[in-house]
């Protein structure tokens, strides 16, 4: 028997019938971001999130995503938020700046507001990698948002 076998554990839950989810999608690299959005919304629907409980906002690029998410989080209208974008490496340092700062912004939003933010921003070396990963990343973002919203609700019940 492992040492942790007797420790109470909060079970993972993808129950999402009543969840309200906000999505912010970058329009930069639109072919990839629309692929992310299609996979994400299909997974949300598969898990039972009602279309009427979704709101989509689009922004120019990945650096604008955190501000839109912050505004949504502060509205108290959402149980979870999802960021969708694609940052594809170019020939300059700009890739690192956008990748790092957009991720930092997502973390700041969720820690400052207590609303979970699922990171569906792809960072890839080229277009082919982004296209190959967009479906899986969209699905993972949807599942992460649902799981974290449910976890936080259960933790709130314990306090």
pLDDT at 103: 97
Cα angle vertex 158, ends 154, 159, to 5°? 120
Confidence of residue 5 (pLDDT cuts 50, 70, 90): confident
Confidence of residue 114 (pLDDT cuts 50, 70, 90): very high
Distance (Å) of CA 97 to CA 71, 81, 89, 144? 22, 23, 11, 25
What does the alpha-carbon distance between residue 50 and residue 146 come to, in Å, rounded to a whole number?
A: 12
Q: Is 80 a catalytic residue?
A: no
Q: What is the mean pLDDT of residues 147-159?
A: 93
Here the tokens at position 38 are 């299609």
Residue carrying the six token digits 């989810």: 21
Do 69 and 81 form a contact (C-beta atoms < 8 A)? yes
Higher pLDDT, residue 49 or 3: 49
Residue carrying the six token digits 């999130």: 49
- Does 158 have pLDDT greater than 90? no
Confidence of residue 13 (pLDDT cuts 50, 70, 90): confident
User: DSSP label at 63?
Assistant: G
Confidence of residue 1 (pLDDT cuts 50, 70, 90): low
Q: Which of 94, 97, 125, 128 is catalytic?
A: 94
* DSSP E strands, 18-132: 21-26, 54-59, 80-88, 117-124
């Amino acid at each position: 028997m492992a040492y942790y076998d007797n420790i109470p554990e909060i079970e993972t839950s993808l129950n999402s019938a009543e969840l309200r989810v906000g999505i912010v999608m970058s329009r930069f690299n639109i072919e990839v971001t629309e692929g992310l959005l299609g996979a994400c919304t299909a997974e949300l629907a598969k898990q039972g999130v009602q279309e009427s409980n979704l709101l989509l906002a689009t922004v120019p690029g990945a650096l604008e995503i955190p501000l839109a998410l912050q505004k949504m989080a502060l509205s108290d209208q959402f149980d979870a938020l999802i960021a969708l974008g694609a940052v594809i490496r170019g020939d300059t340092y700009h890739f690192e700046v956008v990748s790092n700062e957009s991720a930092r912004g997502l973390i700041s939003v969720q820690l400052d507001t207590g609303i979970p933010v699922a990171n569906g921003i792809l960072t890839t070396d080229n277009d082919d990698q982004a296209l190959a990963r967009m479906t899986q990343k969209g699905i993972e973002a949807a599942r992460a948002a649902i799981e974290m919203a449910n976890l936080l609700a259960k933790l709130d019940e314990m306090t």
